[in-house]
Structure 1
């Protein structure tokens, strides 16, 4: 049989006292924990207002990775007021602000350093590979002096190899020492943008240097090359690659024309290239035979 152990009143009283002491101990511990956390929070709040953790001027913001945009421009895009408590700055919010305000910035990362108090902004820029405009009168000049040129710049921009558009008009602070792309594409972006990435890779690999792509007429893609003007007809990535290889084989053409000038090279049918010559001047056709 199971024996029942009797508990005396004195034991019960002692157990109650032990439980009360444990409860008091837990309560005291909770109070101290609350006071400690409150003190820490107050200390951080106080510390955040102290000069040791304050950004007082833009020079405490380090900019890294930028080539096209000046460090001064990037600091201005942050729109920070000074002095600024370092602990109140939200790095992710600042990075998102940079990416949304400047199309040349593909990715931004902002980190804080407490000692010494500073910010580091790491920039990954989009790399322009071509100047894009809607008509032949666009200019590579960034610094527009007259109103006419400024109005033209509203339709002028830069393209990266994936087709990201970077309007020049909104980027007057592009570092003037940075070389702009030599390649130009003319025409409506809506028409060529679906093919741009593929077309750029073909042109980049071309054995013949291409300086301009004219897409104003989708039925006749025109290239300005080191060998002259070339008419390609309707765009096809495989056909363009073949046409450029044929063009490379025509390098010795000018020597065979005995000084006659070429209007353009017709490669619409790359298996049967044709040459359109300029009409000779009247003085050349009808020399004075007095």
Structure 2
């Protein structure tokens, strides 16, 4: 057999051996990769159930950044069921829930595995008013419930927390906060004791509060119980604004122009100020009605009044227009 032919056969056999070796190596590599992946998966599953990566009680949750709210009040609203794996927590869900419920500006979440700790950062907003609601429970859009409580602290964005959720010495005296009535509405859940914040009313409050705060006038109370007539309690007396409308800035500007009113009339004779139409403010006054059988002014001072002489009684007079300058 010619040597060239033998050389070609040897070359083919060597090539076959190389291909078989490569195939064997690929098979071994696939087996090795599969084994590694299965090992990693098993290790991860085992690691998720390790007690060292679980939080079992609220003491393993650290709240930082807060000065006004009590730590236990924030912990009570965390949507965490104990025991809970730190790796299975939903940080975004916790952030959204707290930001939709508490008067806070920003919430951050961090997890430490050694030792296992959940760290919640709170950036609070200052309360600006007190909401009165007898023994109410408030449910937030995140389905988190606070209360029951009768006094609630309200921030400028319209979110609340019970007065009892605040550290006492971090708040101003109750008299320094205006009172707000009728801010909460019955919950759609149907329970009488559960209330909620109406999104539209919350948006209106975000506009109403800075306007009232900018009056530089002592507004003691805002009565929102009748949504068709918002009433401000001022040093002049009640101020009727009617339903919330785009005319609100003009209405409060008209009220600002009336701050010299006590110099021209007796506030005790004022029933209320009507600013429903800010272009034509009205004053509702009291008048004294003297009945026909009442003693006349020129009657002798030492003459005793007859038994049938009634005392003057107040009645409502026609509203007096007070045009803005």
TM-score range, shorter chain: 0.5 to 0.7
Decide whether aligned partners of structure 1 residues 200 and 13 sit closer, same or farther in structure 2, where only a CA change above 3 A counts: same
CA distance in 2, matches of 1:52, 1:251: 66
Paired residues, what number?
263
Q: Tell me, yes or no, if the aligned pair for 2:228 and 2:244 is still in contact at 8 Å.
A: yes
1:182-204 deviation per Cα after TM superposition (whole angstroms, max 9, x unaligned): 24143785797274443344323
CA distance in 2, matches of 1:22, 1:200: 78
- Which residue of structure 2 lines up, in the alignment, with residue 33 of structure 1? 33
2:97 corresponds, among 96, 99, 124, to 99
1:88-128 deviation per Cα after TM superposition (whole angstroms, max 9, x unaligned): x32347627x8189833777554322233211224566876
2:178 corresponds, among 159, 179, 182, to 182
Trace 1:243-282 onto structure 2 (pairs within 5 A): 243-257=251-265, 261-279=269-287
Q: Tell me, yes or no, if the aligned pair for 1:53 and 1:86 is still in contact at 8 Å.
A: yes
Q: Shift in Å at residue 14 of structure 1? A: 0.4
- Which residue of structure 1 lines up, in the alignment, with residue 143 of structure 2? none
CA distance in 1, matches of 2:149, 2:89: 39
CA distance in 2, matches of 1:101, 1:271: 40
CA distance in 2, matches of 1:210, 1:20: 92
- Which residue of structure 1 lines up, in the alignment, with residue 208 of structure 2? 199
CA distance in 1, matches of 2:149, 2:118: 38
Whose helix proportion is higher, 1 or 2? 1
User: Which one is further off, 273-282 or 218-227?
Assistant: 273-282
2:221 counterpart of 1:212: yes
- Specify every segment of 5 or more residues in structure 1 that has no aligned partner in the other structure, as ranges: 143-149
CA distance in 2, matches of 1:267, 1:29: 84
Decide whether aligned partners of structure 1 residues 112 and 281 sit closer, same or farther in structure 2, where only a CA change above 3 A counts: farther
Query: TM-score when scaled to structure 1?
Result: 0.65
CA distance in 2, matches of 1:209, 1:126: 22
User: Which one is further off, 53-62 or 17-26?
Assistant: 53-62
- Which residue of structure 1 lines up, in the alignment, with residue 58 of structure 2? 58
2:227 counterpart of 1:231: no
- Which residue of structure 2 lines up, in the alignment, with residue 147 of structure 1? none
2:81 counterpart of 1:80: yes
